[in-house]
């Protein structure tokens, strides 16, 4: 599985990048054949409190999943977006099983 991290208009710290790598690798518990996980980080409106957005696109064979969350910190927004992707993966697997 390849994890691509893109930070828009700022440089993501090494600590944040390793956090994202660790969290993204946990997705493999839900699907064996994840090809790519693309993470886009950007600061929305700097004057508001919740302004850290994480958009995560995950590519698997026969499918593509996307989740985007805006929170106080990048860590929190990545966590919440990955939780949403986990739910999507579980639903996808259930659909495949029922066919």
- pLDDT of 6-59, one tens digit each? 999 889 999 999 999 999 999 999 888 899 999 999 998 777 778 999 999 999
Task: State the CB neighbour count (10 A cutoff) for residue 69.
Answer: 19
Residue from 67, 45, 52 nearest 7 by CA? 52
Query: How far, in Å, are 49, 65, 82, 98 from residue 91 at the CA level?
Result: 33, 11, 14, 11
Handedness of CA 1, 53, 16, 12 (dihedral sign): positive
| Distance between CA atoms of residues 22 and 41, nearest Å | 16
Q: Which fold has domain 2-98?
A: Double Stranded RNA Binding Domain (3.30.160)
Domain boundaries, given as residue ranges, for the chain: 2-98
pLDDT of 32 reads 85
What's the whole-model pTM score?
A: 0.90
The yes-or-no verdict on residue 61 having pLDDT over 90 is no
Which pLDDT belongs to residue 9? 87
């Amino acid at each position: 599985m390849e994890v691509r991290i893109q930070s828009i208009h700022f440089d993501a710290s090494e600590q944040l990048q390793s956090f994202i790598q660790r969290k993204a690798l946990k997705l493999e518990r839900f699907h064996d054949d994840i090809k790519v996980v693309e993470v886009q980080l950007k600061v929305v409106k700097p004057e508001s409190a919740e302004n850290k957005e994480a958009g995560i696109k995950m590519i698997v064979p026969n499918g593509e999943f996307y989740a985007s969350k805006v929170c106080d910190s990048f860590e929190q927004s990545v966590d919440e977006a990955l939780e949403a992707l986990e739910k999507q993966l579980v639903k996808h697997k259930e659909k495949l099983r029922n066919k």
